[in-house]
Amino acid sequence: MDDVKKLHTVEDIARDIIATSDPEFIDHFKAGTLHRARYSHVSLYMWVRNHYGLWYDSPLTHIWRTYPETHDIRDGIDYSQDHPDAVSDAIITAVWNLLQK
Protein backbone atom coordinates (compact mmCIF):
# COMPACT_ATOMS: atom_id res chain seq x y z
CA MET A 1 0.00 0.00 0.00
CA ASP A 2 2.74 2.41 -0.95
CA ASP A 3 0.36 4.80 -2.72
CA VAL A 4 -1.57 5.59 0.49
CA LYS A 5 -1.22 9.20 1.58
CA LYS A 6 -0.64 9.66 5.29
CA LEU A 7 -2.05 13.02 6.21
CA HIS A 8 -2.74 13.82 9.83
CA THR A 9 -5.85 15.99 9.86
CA VAL A 10 -9.25 16.02 8.24
CA GLU A 11 -8.49 19.50 6.86
CA ASP A 12 -5.19 18.36 5.30
CA ILE A 13 -6.97 15.53 3.52
CA ALA A 14 -9.79 17.83 2.39
CA ARG A 15 -7.28 20.29 0.95
CA ASP A 16 -5.40 17.45 -0.77
CA ILE A 17 -8.62 16.20 -2.38
CA ILE A 18 -9.42 19.69 -3.66
CA ALA A 19 -5.87 20.22 -4.95
CA THR A 20 -5.68 16.90 -6.80
CA SER A 21 -9.22 16.51 -8.12
CA ASP A 22 -10.44 17.19 -11.62
CA PRO A 23 -11.80 20.77 -11.83
CA GLU A 24 -15.03 19.49 -13.39
CA PHE A 25 -15.62 17.23 -10.40
CA ILE A 26 -14.90 20.12 -8.02
CA ASP A 27 -17.39 22.35 -9.84
CA HIS A 28 -20.06 19.64 -9.70
CA PHE A 29 -19.36 18.89 -6.03
CA LYS A 30 -19.34 22.59 -5.09
CA ALA A 31 -22.60 23.35 -6.88
CA GLY A 32 -24.73 21.02 -4.78
CA THR A 33 -25.85 20.96 -1.19
CA LEU A 34 -23.94 19.17 1.55
CA HIS A 35 -26.69 16.53 1.63
CA ARG A 36 -26.29 15.96 -2.10
CA ALA A 37 -22.50 15.85 -1.78
CA ARG A 38 -22.77 13.20 0.92
CA TYR A 39 -25.27 10.96 -0.80
CA SER A 40 -24.48 11.32 -4.48
CA HIS A 41 -20.78 10.57 -4.10
CA VAL A 42 -20.83 7.22 -2.28
CA SER A 43 -17.85 5.97 -4.28
CA LEU A 44 -15.91 9.02 -3.08
CA TYR A 45 -16.30 7.78 0.50
CA MET A 46 -14.78 4.43 -0.44
CA TRP A 47 -11.98 6.12 -2.35
CA VAL A 48 -11.20 8.41 0.62
CA ARG A 49 -11.09 5.46 3.04
CA ASN A 50 -8.77 3.51 0.74
CA HIS A 51 -6.60 6.33 -0.61
CA TYR A 52 -5.86 7.79 2.82
CA GLY A 53 -5.59 4.42 4.59
CA LEU A 54 -8.44 5.01 7.02
CA TRP A 55 -9.06 1.28 7.50
CA TYR A 56 -5.49 0.26 8.17
CA ASP A 57 -2.87 2.98 8.51
CA SER A 58 -4.22 6.45 9.23
CA PRO A 59 -3.39 8.47 12.32
CA LEU A 60 -7.03 9.63 12.23
CA THR A 61 -8.32 6.12 12.92
CA HIS A 62 -5.42 4.77 15.00
CA ILE A 63 -7.35 4.68 18.30
CA TRP A 64 -10.32 2.95 16.66
CA ARG A 65 -8.07 0.30 15.10
CA THR A 66 -5.89 -0.19 18.16
CA TYR A 67 -8.35 -0.04 21.06
CA PRO A 68 -11.61 -1.83 20.22
CA GLU A 69 -12.80 -1.28 23.79
CA THR A 70 -13.25 2.42 22.88
CA HIS A 71 -15.80 1.67 20.14
CA ASP A 72 -19.20 3.27 20.59
CA ILE A 73 -21.41 0.38 19.51
CA ARG A 74 -25.17 0.76 19.89
CA ASP A 75 -27.69 -1.71 18.50
CA GLY A 76 -24.89 -3.38 16.54
CA ILE A 77 -23.77 -0.18 14.80
CA ASP A 78 -20.40 1.45 15.49
CA TYR A 79 -20.94 5.17 16.08
CA SER A 80 -17.31 5.89 17.00
CA GLN A 81 -16.10 9.29 15.83
CA ASP A 82 -12.84 7.74 14.68
CA HIS A 83 -14.45 4.88 12.73
CA PRO A 84 -13.26 5.07 9.09
CA ASP A 85 -16.82 5.74 7.89
CA ALA A 86 -17.25 8.65 10.32
CA VAL A 87 -13.83 10.07 9.42
CA SER A 88 -14.54 9.85 5.69
CA ASP A 89 -17.83 11.69 6.30
CA ALA A 90 -15.96 14.41 8.20
CA ILE A 91 -13.53 14.69 5.28
CA ILE A 92 -16.30 14.99 2.68
CA THR A 93 -17.98 17.63 4.86
CA ALA A 94 -14.67 19.51 5.15
CA VAL A 95 -14.20 19.41 1.36
CA TRP A 96 -17.68 20.81 0.84
CA ASN A 97 -17.16 23.51 3.49
CA LEU A 98 -13.82 24.58 2.01
CA LEU A 99 -15.39 24.85 -1.43
CA GLN A 100 -18.15 27.10 -0.10
CA LYS A 101 -15.68 29.80 0.98
Indicate whether this model's pTM tops 0.85: yes
Categorize the per-residue pLDDT at 10 as very low, low, confident or very high, splitting at 50, 70 and 90.
very high
Q: Helix (H, G, I), strand (E, B), or coil: what is residue 63?
A: helix
pLDDT confidence of residue 4: 75
What is the C-alpha separation between 69 and 62, in angstroms, rounded?
Answer: 13
Q: Give tens-digit pLDDT for 18-68.
A: 999 999 888 888 888 888 877 777 788 899 999 999 999 899 999 999 999
Going from N- to C-terminal start, the domains of the chain cover 10-99
Let me know if 39 is exposed, middle or buried by CB neighbors in 10 A (0-12, 13-18, 19+). Answer: exposed
- Residue 2 in this model has a pLDDT that exceeds 60: no
